[in-house]
Structure 1
Amino acid sequence: MQLRFGIRTKLLLSILAILLVSYSTLLYSTMKTLNASLRTELDRNLATNLKFARSQYLGQAQIAKFSVMHSVVSQTVQQRLAERDGAWLTQRLKSWHTVLPFMDLLVVVDPQEKVLAALQGTVENAAIDAPAVVKQAIASKRAVISTEIFSGEFMCRAGVEGYCDRPESEALVATVAVPVIGSDGGVLGCVLTGDILNHHPTLPSQLQEVSGNAVEVTLTQRGLRVASSLPERARESYTLSPKVLDVLERGEVYRGRTDIGSKSYETIIDPLLNSRGEFVGSLSVAISTETVINSRRENLQNILASAFLGIICSFGLAFFASRHLTGPLRQLAASARRIEEGDLDQRVVGHQRDEVGMLASSFNNMAESLKERDGIINRKTSDLQELNEQLERMVEQRTSALSVEMGRLEAVLTSLAEGVVVTDRDNRVVLFNPAAQQLFELVPHRVIGQSIERLCEMTGFCNVLDPVSEKKPWEAQRGGKKEITVKGKRLHVNTATLGDETGEFAGMVMSIRDVTKEEQVDRMKTEFISTVSHELKTPLTSIKGSLQLLLTRSKWLTDTERQLLTVCFRNTQRLIRLISEILDISGIESGGMIFNFKPVCIGELAVYAVEEIKSYAMGRDITIVNTVGEHLPMVFGDSDRLIQVMTNLLSNAVKFSPEGKVVMVTAEQEGNYVVISVADRGRVIQWSDRDKLFKKFQQIECSERGKIGGTGLGLAICKEIVERHHGRIFYTAAKEYGNTFSFTVPIIGETDAKG
């Protein structure tokens, strides 16, 4: 059975849930903040006490260092040390001990590490194994303070009482080694003084006064406690664990909780290293955690008590608030149920000037609107029925019109001379017109519904069908054109994709045209023109030579005869030039034109081209300005063909420029290409004529001079030559007067140079 709660219960439960989450979050954040505060205070106390303990530990060593350093600079001490006066040095050590009573070890050592004097008596010339701190002080010629562990044997030889009968024992000593430097800078000896920490199990009283019984400052020798700040009665046995020793032996400070006897302590332990950097002991500060735990427990009890009282009070407030707020809402719910049953005259009485009153007013307005809309809906329903009948009639009319259009489209596809194949989104054939049937020699019922792969197997025209079978759905809105040869037939295949209303791939349309006979006719035409041109060029060359010979050597000709011969010679040259252009375009189309590619200088080619056209330009009073410099990089091309391109462009510029104008030849480097441009000042070519520029047998009429003679092959030949050089040729018009023809030639590269 599913429980159903009223709005009052839901509101009460929601308020209680919010209060519970709020108090839980507050309790969690308060405890977390309290713990963090206690942790911070504890860490600060540990750091402060450790700093003070370290200063007390090193304070006496610093006093001894400065006292001894002040004494050893005396000339008397240096002289007695140089004379190896052991008795005097012993008395001197005793006087120093009077000033430094806390120093238990006082020894004077010569540079050969022999004891000259000791505090407890003269042990002159006693050879000892000098500690590393002495050797370091003598070698560095400066005072060294360190904590050392000396063997009982060394302590005995140094004259310290109580160690001769315990040679296997060790002592932890706060050591000061002060070298004695002579006036000449040489080392006369070394004074070794030290505070034997094992003799003082109780640390200085200042630590007890500052720290109290809650804080213990401990000094250990290789993990075993040798001194503490607590009174002897309050101490318990204490040895560092292997885990702590492992951290200290690496020279790192240990922080963490440890148990000392029956008490738990937060501890910070600082390693003590000797002069060689070896671990010899530690200085630690431990603070009892009992006070922290008690304070935390007391705070938690106070917080929980406050939270409990707050929840009880909040529950009472939530109960009364939910009861007051849900009364008008229940009335609204009852009125809504009656409206649902069809009573649109139901209204709610509400006098509150708050959100509930606004809700009651809006409810009444809604009921009034529903009543009005119910009447409007009833009136509109009849209108919709009438419109539905009209729509059905329009659908019938459009369906009939669509059938007519489909019939027309089918008639067009049937009458097309090109084969048409249409596929769906799965590349299955859905249309196969009669021209395609004749081309593939198949009847429609064997093809419709078959996949493109199956059609390929049936016909053997796989090369034709590959453009369709290779198309993928994501290549929608893309088409292509392809020329292929299948079974001796030359076919032009055009493909286009179909898309649905969402732009997704919906199929392919492929049109196939057999151009075998057209290409045969075009090839026959080209061969005929080439043959005729070759046959005409030979006699024309002979005629040109004969006319040239007559003009140059016949002095007896009259002016009229010479004029007629000149006209014949000029027309012969024109015919030879036209035939050469026809032969060039024929050779390019047939692939018979040979190119000799090599590195060439574009500046030299420009000079040759200008010289070749110079006489023609002078005849029309046109100046050619060549600004192509020698600084341009070498290009890779056929020099003769490139000169032919520039000469043709210059000839056209001179031909179509008004007399007295200037033709400019320029070149510049753009990336990996050199761009050569020929600019004239003639009338701008019309938009309608620009499509003819680079096509064969196309000429442009000039409004000032009418139609100018020529074959219309010059720019077509230039285009073919430039494209064989992997460049491009293009036209640019000026704003008012002038035309610019430009072409690009690639700069020679490393692979070209090696080739």
Structure 2
Amino acid sequence: MRLRMNIRNKLLFSILLVLLVSYAILAVTTFKSVNYALEAQVSKNLEENLRYAQSQLFARADLITYSLSQPTTAPPVQKYIRTSNRPWLTDAVQRWRKTIPFVEVLSLVDPQKRVLTRLGSGTSDRLAGLEYAMEQAFRTRNTVVSTELVSREFLEQEGGVAITPSTLKENEAMVMVVAMPVIAPDGTLLGGVLAGDIINNDPNLPFQVQEVFGKEVEVTITQRGHRIASSVAEEIPIPVSIDAAIMERLERRIPYRGEAKIGNSFYETVFAPIANLRGEVIGSLSVALSNDYFTRIKRDNMRNIMASGAIGVFLSFGLAYLMARRLTRPLTDLTRGVEQIEAGELDQRVVVTSADEFGMLADSFNRMASTLYERERTITRKTQDLQRLNEELERRVAERTVALRMEMGMLEAILTSMAEGIVVTDRDNHVTLFNPSAQKLFDLVPHRVMHQPIEQVCDLGGFCMLLEHIHAVRAGEGPTPREEELRVKGRKLKVSLSPLIDEAGAFAGVVMSIRDVTMEEEVDRMKTEFISTVSHELKTPLTSMKGSLQFILSKGKWLTKTERELLSICQRNTDRLIRLINDILDISTIEAGGMQFAFGQVSIGELVVYACEEIKGFAQGRNISIVSDVATDLPAVWGDHDRLIQVLTNLLSNAVKFSPSGKTVLVSALRKGNYVTVSVADVGRAIQWSDRDKLFKKFQQLGSSDPRERSGTGLGLAICKEIVERHHGRIFYESGAAGGNVFSFAIPVYEETLHEQ
């Protein structure tokens, strides 16, 4: 049985459906707006809480700085620091501790960072764990504040309180360090004060934040992923020890903002890394807001929205019922007219005299035919519009095709006009491009090489020695791009090989760029010969000038002070020019293969002693100490005694020249396989990455603000490189593990049986 409903009920239900849909949309949009507002408030609260927590973390450092800045500037304190009056300074440190009782580490040091007095009972005179902080304070002449990790042994030696193992994490503690230089009124550095506050012993910071922002805030301080202060219960793990992605961002010093799980609950969190003075991340500071709090707010808002909607729907239902009864009275006349049309009287029209919606319905029924006609016209117009858009698309495709053809033509013109030869192979190792420069270099015509295997082309062009490198590039072995040199038909060529990668990242072929450097090599040879000739011509008159100046200075007792000083300057400059010419002649002789080497059995220890004695006077003039750490049981090497001393002396001279006054240059040697490696290490400023490629090239000097450091020929390291390579060894540079520079060279070990044969 088919259920029939009258117009009034249908109208009533339709109105109710519209109301329900409207209220549902309103509820959804309102709920989304509330969620957006809550998320914005969460982000704002997290940032405010984090800033406050960070200020609380560094508040005590500011208090320590303020508390120590006044007594360290007092004349009596500076007087006793200058005279190293340890009893008086020990009593002063105890008094300062009463002013800042939360400080666990408090030490006074002299300008050499030797401890004058400390709170703890340690006997060492060094700041074993925090010398770097004090060194930074001395260098900048300003107070340095940082967060550092120190060992338990350091705290027991430096600190004034006992350290329990429960407060340590992996036998370390996080300390807020304040390093303050003590500077006299005349600017003299008298010493320094090192103070520290152990964060592991102070879990109150999170609760101070909660007093301001409420108990919904959860604050945590971690040390290498271990909680040391937190408002979260101890049995609940913190997010840092769970989510590796958070730790990875913090280790790159990038703050984290997002959702994290703490225990069985989810929190909106923000993590800030805590780094030490060297920039290493040693922990984190995090602030979290529980999602339960915001869930309650959302639930309350949703309940209010639903209550308001229910009341509105109930009132609308009553109003719709009354309006439906009134509007359905004219339906009888409208139904009768429709039945006539249904009976076959198609020329009939529905006539309703009322001017309300039913009259409009009758008019709509009568206009239905014309509406169908209008709809057909609309469909035709849309079809025409689609056809026009299709024609526009075809026109744009044609224009883009022309542009691509122009680009291809431009690329082809560039490759054709290039002076360098370009050869490209596909993934099957067949030649797909062989430009005119490559054809000229290898004397090949295009039809003999295009789409041919590269092995066949190599046979025709005479560069088969390149096949091994092509196969290495195809296999992904070695560096890319790789540079190779080969000689073909009396010409020296430099070849750069690079893999060709398609859009999917797969290997698609090899690109080879070939350049003829025969003329460049000839120009270099001519330049070297010219420099050598000029140097020979200059050396004789300069030697005569030097002898004349020496004779005048030794015999000219009648010279005035000014005249003698000017002649001395001339003699020094003459010596410098002679050294420059000797270096140029040495490098020219080595490159030309004319330098003779007297190879024999050489003792490394003896080389180091001779070189240190030769450079001793120069080192003493710059207040530099040279220390030898060469073992006596090292095997002898096979080389030229004088030339190896020249290499070692040059390296020692550079180390002394670029080391700060009062520092030490270390010479060491050890055996590595069939080689003995000699190293010269200094503590000067490390060479920048951009300058390291220039180290062993001729006439290359590194930039420096001190003109004395730029003096020299720029040939010393180049000569060392040539001498070491003639010994079948190698010379190289490394940065020091603790700063500075290390230059090393390796020489083959003397094998008696081999040389006897």
Q: TM-score range by the shorter chain?
A: 0.3 to 0.5
Normalising to structure 2: TM-score of the pair? Answer: 0.43
Quick check: which has more Rg, 1 or 2? 1
